[in-house]
Amino acid sequence: MLPTYLLSLREGLEAALIIGIVLGAVNKIRRKDLAPAVWLGTLSAVIVSILTAIVLTSFGMSLEESAEQIFEGITMLAAAGILTWMIFWMGKQARFIKNELEAGVNKAAASAGKTAVFWLAFVAVVREGVELAIFITAAFFADRAIQVNGTIIQISAGTILGLGTAALLSYTLFATTVRLDLRKFFQVTGILLILFAAGLFAHGIHEFIEVGWIHAIIEHVWDLNRIIPEESLVGQLLTNLFGYNSSPDLTEVIAYLAFIVTVAFFWTKDNAVPAKAKAESHA
């Protein structure tokens, strides 16, 4: 439940900030008549995102044996890739989003009016929603081996709580003088989600090993079932958060470590640039 909570919180907060910026731009140009188009575009994006999650999960569950493993592996690798890209993209583009959205609102209001504003809100929000749908699908398949019904309940609860927290947090930011250090927030959640993405990546590699697409090199490098069983509370928490496998293949271990090292390298490099620029500005 915790990974889906973090994912939903982050994606929900990003979507809420986008909606807030668009509504603020609409008020700024004194075109409150465009606000319903913003909300309609947002609602349509939410519906599309929910349908995407249902279709992907239902399709995956309808498959059997090797086809199911291939689909799950592809979904997990895709989710890991999109999640990592999203974290880096948000870190680089966060400072420009407000200006870009406000410019988009001004252009839309001057041209096609309500229709253009609808599509502006729809496209901005549906990107976050479809990403979340893919992550939820991947999280479901990563968890499903434990207990299907329990997994559905936990993922649903995590999603609802995450989106609810994001809505409350966003309302607090826009309606009060409270200010959240969003850069710090996205950095902390980014680190946790990178670890989650590494787990999804390793899970995807495991599925391809099971289907015979990738060689295992050495099976069962270690066995921690006696210490931390995957079915235990701690084991489930580690599995959900970090892709814990009590008895992994060497290929999985290499894939997990390679993912962490590669992402950490670029993460450090990207975060060093703003810090250097900030230091130079104070010099």
Contact by Cβ (8 Å): 42, 19:
yes
222 phi and psi, to 5 degrees? -150, 165
Calculate mean pLDDT across residues 111-120.
77
State the chain's mean pLDDT as an integer.
79
Cα distance between residue 16 and residue 3, in whole Å:
19
pLDDT at 1: 63
Dihedral of the CA atoms 79, 85, 88, 89 (nearest 10)? -120
Calculate mean pLDDT across residues 173-198.
73
DSSP 218: S
pLDDT at 278 over 60: no
pLDDT at 47: 92
Digit-coded pLDDT (tens) for 119-139: 888 988 888 888 888 888 887
Digit-coded pLDDT (tens) for 214-264: 888 888 888 888 888 877 878 777 776 777 888 888 999 999 999 999 988
Amino acid code (one letter) for 103: A
pLDDT at 282 over 80: no
Tell me if the pTM is above 0.95: no
pLDDT at 56: 87
Report residue 257 as tokens.
């470590």
- 272 pLDDT tier (thresholds 50, 70, 90): low
pLDDT at 127: 84
Tell me the torsion sign for CA atoms 132, 137, 142, 145.
Answer: positive
- 8 pLDDT tier (thresholds 50, 70, 90): confident
Lowest average pLDDT, out of 91-100, 193-202, 262-271, goes to: 91-100
Digit-coded pLDDT (tens) for 26-73: 887 777 888 888 889 999 998 998 898 889 888 888 888 788 888 888
b/e 220-237 (16+ beta carbons within 10 angstroms → b): ebeeeeeeeebeeeebbe
Digit-coded pLDDT (tens) for 141-157: 776 554 555 567 777 78
Calculate mean pLDDT across residues 98-125.
76
Query: For residue 209, what are the CA distances in angstroms to 31, 89, 116, 206, 237?
Result: 56, 31, 47, 5, 24
pLDDT at 150: 59
Burial class from Cβ neighbours inside 10 Å (0-12, 13-18, 19+) for residue 61 reads: middle
